[in-house]
Structure 1
Amino acid sequence: MTATTTDLHTTESGDLDPESVFWEARPELAAVRQYARAAMASPWAVLGCTLARVALSVPPVVVLPPLGNDASAVASLNLFVGLVAPSGVGKGVATRAAEGVLSIPPGGGRLIVERPLGSGEGMAHVFTDTDDDGEDTPAVHSVWFDVPEVDTLTALVGRKASTLASEVRKMFTGEGLGFQNADATRRKIVPAHSYRAALVAGVQPRKAGPLLDDAAGGTPQRFLWMPATDPGAPDELPPAPEPLTWTSPVLCTEPRRVHLNVAGSIKARLQAERRARLREELTDDNGQQSLVRLKVAALLALLARRTDVTESDWSLADYVMSVSDHTRNRMREALRADAAHAVRERAEARAAFDEHQDDAVVRRTAEKILTRLTTDPVPSSTVRSALGKNLRDYFEAAADALIARGLVERADDVYRGQPRTMLRLRQ
């Protein structure tokens, strides 16, 4: 059956279950759901990983066509997927299931290698090989960047002078990667659209704050957010279907670009949105989401072994994006609830502290300490030095009282070979 936009968005009062309509729209989608449930994984997470594997299997010369008349303004199929679930649900189960969904014969797609995410400078190295003369050449493989925990990504991005965030955003659109360096061994320049990459991250909702807060930089809008949970998981496991035998519909190595054929009606809608943004008639931060939707539509077409992106692909991609939007909104709601709960707990703890703390000087010292702390660890010696001379003698008593009341956390650390104590507000 062919799904339409109306079918996929039938209301609860209608006869059709929109999610079932989606999964039954095509045999390959039905196979993904059955394979996922046979593996006790989330169908949506497995679908996200399967689309990433499709993207990685297609040569990097295959691109999305430009919306305007600039022939160079093409877009890459490189895909970012966030698998969202509490700890222990099993992102790894979904990624392994996605490996089993597709059976790609030798020569049917590009070699996929898995690499951890490191520095922005290091990213360019994984996309280059060295020939017999010691010259850099484009790698013949595609790279699956695996990020088991989202706080690993945010920690890497948050490093001082880190170039990772900007390189990751360039990788999404297939722009050139790398930096000039006086040391030839560290100088790696990767030309635009000469590489294929996917970034798949495990995301615990309550740890996603730093990533979601980078909306101004456009990082969260570049992700396809797929739930790694499955509320509809059946009591009895279905049998695992045979893997889908799949080959890339484009197998080419020559340096020429192959534009996917996007339906004119789809291009017209995207052009209208781009025009509205140019005119400042549309000013939200979701400009990248339309590109994600187009990538999903294109990958669904390629999964069906087609190079034509049709209205049917676009409609199915719209439903996938509604799942992604819902998943991202649920993360934001969880973070807001946690923040509100933390504010209440801190207020209650401070009230209890004031009630039971008789020593006014210690209380005043504790208040000063609280103003100097954040949720980031700070050396206790730094906090003590910031106090007035008349309060420093009460520092230990005040810090102990704050820790006892649950307002502050203490941790031991080593810096330059010397032990030190770190303090921070309890999250």
Structure 2
Amino acid sequence: MTATVPDFRTGTEPEDLDPESVFWEARPELAAVRQTARAAMASPWAVLGCVLARVSLSVPPSVVIPPLGNDRSAVASLNVFVGLVGPSGTGKGVATAAAEDFLNTPPGGGRLIEKLPLGSGEGISHTLIDTDSEGENTPSIRSVWFDVPEIDTLTALIGRQASTTSSELRKMFSGEGLGFQNSDATRRKIVPAHSYRAALVAGVQPLKAGPLLDDSAGGTPQRFLWLPATDPGAPDVTPDAPPPLSWSSPVLATEHRRTPLTVAASITAVLREERLNRLREVITDGLGQQSLVRLKVAALLALLAKRLDITEGDWSLADYIMRMSDHTRNRMRDVLRAEAMQAVQARAEARAAFDEHHAAAAVQRTAAKILTKLDTEPVSATTVRRGLGPALRDYFEAATDDLIRRGLIDRHDDEYRGQPRTLLRLRR
């Protein structure tokens, strides 16, 4: 019996909830994901993210999310981006391997998945298109898992001058057409919209995530599902691994007709209302892609359950996963802010130390200059000060005090013609 998953849109943070009863026990496949992860000593959230990516890649690109409006061509792809967040050595690779072992897909029950490194924007289209025996470009029969073990690889690609990687990735997320016109026909690889299946899975060390998170204006980080690669609740005793989940795609790769998933009317109503509010500029937070990510997660949960209909239960479970994603992204931002504050403090302390050293050196130079202007006969302090260069006059009082403290000069206050004055002389 499926457990009831409450609506978490009331501000409750993921760490305040009991995942044993609230989320992981909601469905048998989720409980199996958690047990698989803990048997492998990996994060259940990271394994779940990789399982959802593999479900996406196993379903043909003809399976799409239907449009909200009346334009039947405005469908959404199931391509997903997953960021596995944690410090170095938390087992992101272990999570990826555990997810691969979790799904037992028989031959013909899904698409061939090829794991490849991410390259340039032009390289993405070359990866997703094949050439037939007559030299014609044709959509690849493979699904591509773009593997980014370290997020700085992705940020370096995005940060290159005139790089097209970021824009091509955003199009890939939506299933749009990819590629560029090129005078060289051998390099002209145009990938038609919704003819390919791809996923991007990246290992993310929080301190290296700044450049990607800063690309929010472009919308790249909003397209990611951010999940922790750590497991604070890991048990002391490692459980046995459950049997792999026997799973096949509800739509076979040989079926080329477009297959829109069915979305519950209540979910469509919520999404339509949000879309209208964004069109009317009632909502201007720049997070419109997050609702699409949630819908994709709900769709992949439905497909994991071997269904083509997205239900309220899928939508509610996806909401919990998105809250974990938001929580994980916010923790990354907190780490980056703390690091930035430490850097600012370190710079301030270094500057203060430099200024202190500079001031101490200036005082010593001023003291040496004062000594050259004194004799055993008293001299007016005003006269001595005027004899200093402009750069040393600010340090006159400190230098005088230092010379008196060292017993090198004497200072005497008296009056001259009814006006107070200070006299300085070398100590006999």
| TM-score range for the pair, normalised by the shorter chain length | 0.7 to 0.9
* Displacement after TM superposition at 1:360 (Å): 7.7
SS of 1:155's equivalent? helix
C-alpha separation in 1, matches of 2:3 and 2:270:
19
- Check conservation: 2:6, 2:316, Cα contact below 8 A: no
**CA-atom RMSD in angstroms:** 1.8
SS of 1:190's equivalent?
Answer: coil
Other-structure match for 2:28: 27
* Residue type of the alignment partner of 1:84: V
The whole-number CA distance in structure 1 between the counterparts of 2:118 and 2:351 is: 41
Note the C-alpha offset of 1:133: 0.9
Matched with 2:339 is 338
- 2:116 matched to 1:115? yes
* Paired position in structure 2 for 1:246: 247
Shift of 1:358: 6.5
Structure 2 CA distance for aligned equivalents of residues 3 and 162 of structure 1: 47
Identify the residue that residue 277 of structure 1 maps to in structure 2.
Answer: 278
Which residue number in structure 2 is paired with residue 259 of structure 1?
260
Q: 1 CA distance for matches of 2:94 and 2:4?
A: 31
2:356 maps to: 355
Identity %: 77
Is structure 2 residue 2 aligned with structure 1 residue 2? yes
- Change beyond 3 A, Cα 1:160–1:103: same
Show the 5 A alignment for 1:283-322. Answer: 283-322=284-323
- Structure showing greater radius of gyration is 2
Distance, in Å, in 1 between the alignment partners of 2:52 and 2:17 is 26
Structure 2, gaps ≥5 residues long: 363-428
The CA deviation at 1:210 is: 0.6
SS in 2 for 1:114: strand
Cα distance change on mapping 1:19 and 1:295 into 2, 3 Å: farther
**1:202 is paired with a residue of what secondary structure?**
strand
Normalised to the residue count of structure 2, the TM-score between the two structures is 0.81
Counterpart contact for 1:35–1:241, Cα < 8 Å: yes
Over 3 Å counting, the alpha-carbon distance change for 1:308 and 1:184 in structure 2 is same
**Counterpart code for 1:157:** I
Indicate conservation of the 8 Å contact 2:179/2:188, yes or no. Answer: yes
Q: CA 1:105 to 1:134, structure 2 compared with 1: closer, same or farther past 3 Å?
A: same
Q: Secondary structure at the match of 1:179?
A: coil
Identify if the C-alpha distance between structure 1 residues 19 and 69 changes in structure 2 by more than 3 Å, giving closer, same or farther: farther
Taking a change above 3 Å as real, the CA distance of residues 158 and 250 of structure 1, as seen in their structure-2 partners, is same
Q: 1:99 Cα deviation (Å)?
A: 0.5
Give CA deviations for 1:375-398 in whole Å, capped at 9, x if unaligned. xxxxxxxxxxxxxxxxxxxxxxxx
CA distance in 2, matches of 1:353, 1:76: 57
- Which residue pairs with 2:133 in the alignment? 132
1:136 offset after TM fit, Å?
A: 1.1
| Residues 1:146 and 2:147 are matched in the alignment | yes
Worse-superposed segment, 352-361 or 244-253: 352-361
User: Is the CA contact (8 Å cut-off) linking 1:3 and 1:312 kept in structure 2?
Assistant: no
Shift of residue 90, structure 1, vs aligned partner? 1.4
> Does the CA contact (< 8 Å) of 2:116 and 2:146 recur in 1?
yes
**How many pairs are equivalent?**
359
Question: Deviations 1:59-117 (Å, cap 9, x if unpaired)?
Answer: 00000000000000000000000000011111101101101110111000000001111
1:254 CA displacement: 4.4
Q: Structure 1 counterpart of 2:87, which letter?
A: P
5+ residue gaps, structure 1 = 362-427
Tell me which amino acid in the other structure corresponds to 2:2. T
**C-alpha contact (below 8 Å) 2:120/2:164 kept by paired residues:** yes
> Which whole-Å CA distance do the structure 1 matches of 2:92 and 2:188 have between them?
35
Partner of 1:391: none
Partner of 2:385: none
- CA displacement, residues 337-388 of structure 1 (integer Å, 9 cap, x when unaligned): 1111111110001111122246989xxxxxxxxxxxxxxxxxxxxxxxxxxx
